[in-house]
Amino acid sequence: MNEQLAKVAEAMVAPGKGILAADESTGTIKKRFDSINTDSTEDNRRDYREMLFRTTGAMREHISGVILFDETIRQKAKDGTPLAKVIADTGAFPGIKVDTGAKDLAHSSGEKVTEGLDGLRERVAEYVELGAKFAKWRAVINIGAGLPSHNAIHANAHALARYAAICQEGGLVPIVEPEVLMDGDHDIDTCYNVTTWALKETYLELFYAGVRLEGTILKPNMVISGTTNSNRAGVEEVAEKTVRVLKNCVPASVPGICFLSGGQSDEEATAHLSAMNAAYDMPWTLSFSYGRALQHAALNAWGGKAENEAAAQAAFAHRARMNGLAAQGKWTEAMEKEAA
């Protein structure tokens, strides 16, 4: 089992490929659909995601896996094919979000802990039957006055480790996602210090839980200034400080690191990833696991109308190609001017 998990994890970070995060909760995708004046019905959600998964060229060339929501992994395409099979037929792995969301952490005002460990072993077994090859669990770390606390860092790291161990036992590669949020006016050095703390605590807990790192993927934030900081760090500084944190914290036995976009713009997320791959030698593959930064242009081009599918698929294919190039350090700003 451990060998098989390691093989899946390695394939998930194949050169020029990354992960499409399409695991928006029902509430989150409703907000996305509201922005394009489209009702968030089960059929509309299915049609939108099927459109992305059937962008076959982009999926085959640049997407190694797709993270799905519980509803989506159970859905069938218009022609009756399970959506998990539509994904698998492109050569990508279907994956599943298994946490039940970030909830308020007791006695830690302004902080969250991710829940979902109860019944996880049974859910993992069911998702394997539905075709999943990997799983995702997102922890959320806030930066603010007196935050984060050790309580929040430790509680989230411990939950991530327990989740990862259960997934590996059940046959799924766990994506370990300790996200230090961009929200706030903090500078890049504060993000650097908090990200270091979160990653060190996470890998300590993974060790205690007996998790085999060769069969995992790390999905971290980049080290970046807060969204409302008046002096935001540039691309080169983000790349240098992110790589430095990773080299200080992430064991070389981890096959790959797939960044979340975390609220960055489409091009910003691509530029940062490419800068890291172009300038630094690292023991692991650096790639992407983007949601909004892969989907935003496609969602707007689609606008909830079937007649716009070709334009939406072209927009998705363009972003997938740009990030595939960034995962190899080959992206340039000039490439963005090419027709999507």
Q: How many CB atoms lie within 10 A of CB 216?
A: 25
Dist CA 225 CA 188 (whole Å)? 4
What would the two tokens of residue 340 be? 């999507």
Residues 6 or more apart whose Cβ sits within 8 Å of residue 43: none
Dist CA 222 CA 180 (whole Å)? 9
Q: How far is CA 98 from the centre of its chain?
A: 13
Question: Which among 255, 301, 335, 225 is positioned nearest to 19, based on CA atoms?
Answer: 255
Dist CA 252 CA 249 (whole Å)? 10
What would the two tokens of residue 300 be? 């707007």
DSSP 250: S
Question: Which among 21, 14, 106 is positioned nearest to 296, based on CA atoms?
Answer: 21
Name the H helices within the chain. Answer: 2-12, 26-34, 42-53, 56-62, 70-73, 83-88, 120-129, 150-170, 188-208, 235-249, 266-279, 292-302, 309-326
* Cβ atoms of 196 and 241 closer than 8 Å: no
- The set of catalytic residues is 177, 219
Q: How far is CA 338 from the centre of its chain?
A: 26
